[in-house]
Amino acid sequence: MITTPHYLASQTGLHILRSGGCAIEAAIAAAAVLTVVYPQMCTLGGDNFWLIYNAADKELKGLNASGRSGSQVTRTVYENLGLSQIPSRGPLAAITVPGVVSGWDKALGYAKEHRQARFSLDELLSDALVYAEEGFPVSKSLADWIVVDTDTQDTEQRCLQRYPGFAKLFLPEGQPLRACTRLRQPDLARSLRILMDQGAAAFYEGELAHALVRGLRDAGGLLTEEDFARHTADWVEPLSTPYRQYTACNLPPNTQGVSSLQILALAATLDMQALGEGSADYYHYLIEATKLAFADRERYVTDPDFVQAPLEHLLSQDYIHSQAARMDRSKARDFASLLDPKGDTIWLGVVDGAGNAVSLIQSIYNDFGSGIVPEGTGILLQNRGSFFSLNPKHPNTLEPAKRTMHTLNPPMILENGRPRLVYGTMGGEGQPQTQAALVTRILDFGMTPQEAIDAPRWLYGRTWGASSNTVKLEARIDRAVAHDLEARGHVVEYVADYSDTMGHAGAILIDQESGILQGGTDPRSDGQALGY
């Protein structure tokens, strides 16, 4: 079974599974299609992170394929330009090496080493190539984001048509692409052919690396060919915490995986049945748990090669219970996040017939990333580096060859050492919160994955450009519940039902006795959950 936020990617992944491919191969093929058909969320110019369960060895592996900042990228560069923060768009935001291709390559190598792989990289990229060459129908989501990001009144965060490569791709003849029109990407197709012919090394040391650096340099960027050549994707040890009779797993920093696990650990101290799903108490306690977890995130989470977070302490039962005691049932905690992480991202999950499982998340950070498309490549580069701080005292301060704190985190729930729930979502600060919604609704309240994903969602934090943190509720949430939250001190803001703001979630629930899989996909996305 596979679940992704776009139907074409899900269909590709299912084809790989039906053809005898393993979970890793299906994930790569689907992820590659998503870089073509969902460029507002992810491209070859982004990063990815993996949780991989190997059923034969009963091994859970973590893979960090996020890029580091360039060797010439320093705070002084921005200070000399009179900037107090890194621009959110443009060449000075495209300051980290893209890691997506290295993640695919490393994961496929693992599948080959463990005799799971049946396909080569070029075979796995074949559907992506077809959609790049022959085109695909523009989704409403893609069309809507093009309109949003060509707002000429917002030159700081939008107005992406100022970048020639973006305009060439998404505004043919000067007009935004409309839904259900065909989008062909011949430059991206050429880049995919190079990867298929020459392998992943071409992206970091070969023809594509040269083209990306040259195009970025011409636009005023800072990355060098040496930065690309030094890039590596790295295996990391997953983190875990108990949740009821289960084990919740995620990745360590530079991801916010520890925050997602802290929220679940705090939720595990609560009697969910007594609270009741969808009650004011339910929302209140999970929002308060989020605030406590985010406070720790701001203190500690960055590249562990630069700052080591006290992970064992942060997930210890003593610390979790002391934090739980700080949650006031009647009053919202006053917490103003100094960070403002966003996330236009994709998450996908796969479980194959042998019991192998993948939780994969990849992103270019904001919608359409930096907006920079180096000439001739068709590859839209991420702006993940814009999340670095220029404050030298902040743990996530900008330094050369450093990985920034990442909102991306791919979760998985194990039971008796085997996958029970493969789940995840896009959505920046919303990722840990929606993960908590899925886990509590499925494992505590017995919802199916689809019911849990469909249910009304909330989001504590800021949307891009907002000046304050609010609790965003989908409009169908009971007004009495919302008024109760306001009475406790929460600042409530309503958003449309099934809003993109709430992210695109997915989940696969595994019955370990029967082997039956239940999948779900988000109606807020263009996705499908498919199995056989």
Q: Please report, for residues 21, 59, 410, 517, the alpha-carbon distance to residue 511 in angstroms, rounded to integers and kept in the order given.
A: 22, 19, 21, 6
How confident is the model at residue 342, as a pLDDT? Answer: 52
- When computed from its CA atoms, the radius of gyration of the chain, rounded to whole angstroms, is 21
pLDDT at position 192, please?
99
| Catalytic (active site) residue 397 | no
Q: Is 428 annotated as a binding residue?
A: yes
- Read off the pLDDT of each residue in 257-280 and give the average, rounded to a whole number: 97
Buried b vs exposed e over 75-93: b needs ≥16 C-beta within 10 Å?
A: bebbeeeeeeebbbbbbbb
SS3 label, residue 321: helix
Among 96, 302, 345, 404, the one annotated catalytic: 345
Structure tokens at 128: 């992506």
Under the banding of pLDDT at 50, 70 and 90, the label for residue 340 is low
Instruction: Give the pLDDT score at 11.
Output: 99
Query: 479-521: per-residue pLDDT in tens?
Result: 999 999 999 999 999 999 998 889 999 999 999 999 999 999 9
Cβ–Cβ under 8 Å, residues 354 and 41: no
pLDDT band at 343 (very low <50, low <70, confident <90, very high): low
Bridge partners (DSSP) of residue 357 are 53, 351
Question: Positive or negative CA dihedral for 361, 364, 365, 368?
Answer: negative
- How far, in Å, CA of 437 to CA of 277, rounded? 9
CA dist list (Å): 240 to 127, 255, 427, 453: 35, 14, 22, 23
CA–CA gap between residue 132 and residue 251 (Å, rounded): 32
Q: What integer pLDDT is reported at residue 465 of this predicted model?
A: 47
- Which of 427, 428, 458, 426 has its CA nearest to residue 440? 458
State the CB neighbour count (10 A cutoff) for residue 214. 16
pLDDT bracket for residue 216 (50, 70, 90): very high
Matching CATH number, 239-342+409-526, of 1.10.246.130, 3.40.190.10, 2.30.29.30, 3.40.50.2030: 1.10.246.130
CA 528 to chain centre: 18
> Using one digit for the tens of pLDDT, what is the confidence trace for 37-95?
999 999 999 999 999 999 999 999 999 999 999 999 999 999 999 999 999 999 999 99
Domain boundaries, the chain: 2-235+349-387, 239-342+409-526
Smallest CA-to-CA distance from 298 within 287, 314, 286 is with 314
Give 3-state DSSP helix, strand, coil % of the chain, rounded to 5. 40, 20, 45
Q: How confident is the model at residue 466 (pLDDT cuts 50, 70, 90)?
A: low
The DSSP code for 6 is B
- CA 6-197-50 angle, to 5 degrees, is 45
In this prediction, residues 280-291 reach a mean pLDDT of 97
- Strand ranges in 114-270 using DSSP code E only, listed in sequence order: 136-137, 182-183, 234-236, 239-243, 246-250
CA distance 119 to 112: 9
With a cut of 80, say whether residue 155 has pLDDT above it: no
pTM: 0.96
Cα 100 to Cα 221, 524, 530, distances in angstroms: 20, 24, 24
Strands 492-495 and 470-474: parallel
Place of tokens 């060449």: 91
3-state secondary structure at position 471: strand
pLDDT category at 329 given cuts 50, 70, 90 is very high
Token pair 């048509």 is found at 161
Contact call for residues 477 and 437 (beta carbons, < 8 A): no
Preceding amide of 254 cis, omega within 30: yes
**470: Cβ–Cβ under 8 A, 6 or more apart, which residues?**
460, 461, 462, 491, 492, 493
Percent residues over pLDDT 70 in the chain? 97
